[in-house]
Amino acid sequence: MSSPKHTVHGWVVLNKPVGMSSAKAVALVRRSLGGVKTGHAGTLDPLACGVLPIAVGEATKTISYVMTAEKSYHFTVRWGAETQTDDTEGEVTRMSDHRPSVEDIAAILPRFTGLINQVPPIFSAVKFKGKRAYALARDSQRSGRDTADLKLASRQVMIRSFEMIDHKDEETTFSVRCGKGTYIRSLARDMGRALGSAAHVVYLERRSVGRFDIDKSISLDFFEQMVYRARAHDYVIPVMTALDDIPALAITEQEAEKLRFGQSVTLDQRRAEAFRAAGDDTEQDPVTGVAACHQQPVAMVKLTQQNLSPVRVLNI
């Protein structure tokens, strides 16, 4: 009789290749780990490459917290053409003979830095009238209707930093660090219009998601080789690594036991204030974070006044 498989919990930081969907990458990791529950923290389009954090086991309960983390990208824009999808996949919808100079590009970057308004691409996962925008856009194409009739609402996104790192002929490469919900394709489209030209993304690489960096990512081929050598678990990062940016509370074994059974814990004023101070808003209740016992995560929790209650219990 074969021995039972060790259940693994944590994160695989995959360097997704161009041409593969995020769903397929997740499915391959799931199969490699024997069918354990998996999920990713932020979709990468098939034409994009780079960091795709994949949650394994109980780490899937923390995905929503990782998805709010800042992300960074390198991307290349080609000037002179706008497309349906704002990348190379869609048909050209508008052309321009104007090619912006390096000086003009550099001068406009401050307009796209900080809190900006942005309309997502029509081929995106944003919901419009209860359905995904990309599904409605494809339906419009199949029926011969103009996709321009899909008017998505503008929304605010945060661009922490935006730099030009290379410029050659009709293409410019940028480095950007941004907050949740930012579409790089929209950024390229809007820059093209602001510069009196047209633009679309020809290359997109995600460099980081929160604590997960491309320098510490692994290729899918390498991961599958490690599975063959029974060493794949060596490349699963602990759950707590992804939670470094949210408030954490050290709890006792007795408190951990109560949280595991769905019960609340009352903190003294000092511990409650310390936990609250680790959050972004010290005045706002509830404060969400992670409770850990002996550096092992026990539950995602929320604190209201001095009452600590479990949101998601981690069975690790």
**pLDDT: is 84 or 137 the higher one?**
84
Kindly report which listed range (136-150, 231-245, 250-264) carries the lowest average pLDDT score: 136-150
Supply the pLDDT for residue 1: 32
Residues 161 and 290 in one domain: no
pLDDT of residue 42: 86
Catalytic residue among 45, 86, 87, 190: 45
Residue 17 shares a structural domain with residue 139: no
Does 23 lie in the same domain as 90?
A: no
* 195 and 281 part of one domain: no
Residues 86 and 172 in one domain: yes
Q: Is 175 helix (H, G, I), strand (E, B) or coil?
A: strand
Residue 146 annotated as catalytic? no
What per-residue confidence (pLDDT) applies to 144? 61
* Helices first, then strands: H and E counts in the chain: 8, 19
Do 220 and 275 share a domain, yes or no? no
Beta-carbon contacts of 113 under 8 Å, excluding residues fewer than 6 positions away, are 159, 160, 161, 162
Q: Are 201 and 76 in contact (CB under 8 A)?
A: yes
Q: For residue 279, is pLDDT > 90?
A: no
Residue 2 lies in a domain: no
Quote the CA–CA distance of 193 and 183 in Å, as a whole number: 16
Same domain? 268 vs 219: no
CATH number at residue 193: 3.30.2350.10
Least confident of 53-67, 70-84, 191-205: 53-67
- The domain of 305 spans 246-313
In a domain? residue 5: no
What local confidence, expressed as pLDDT, does residue 149 receive?
62
- Domain-embedded: residue 45: yes
Looking at residue 302, what is its pLDDT? 94
DSSP letter string, 98-165: ----HHHHHHHGGGGSEEEEEPPPSSSS-EETTEEHHHHHHHHHHHT--GGG--PPPEEEEEEEEEEE
**7 vs 220 pLDDT, higher one:** 220
Of residues 267 and 122, more confidence is placed in: 267
DSSP code at position 237: B
Q: Is 173 in the same domain as 288? A: no
- Both 165 and 257 in one domain: the answer is no
The better pLDDT of the pair 3, 47 is held by: 47
Domain count, the chain: 4
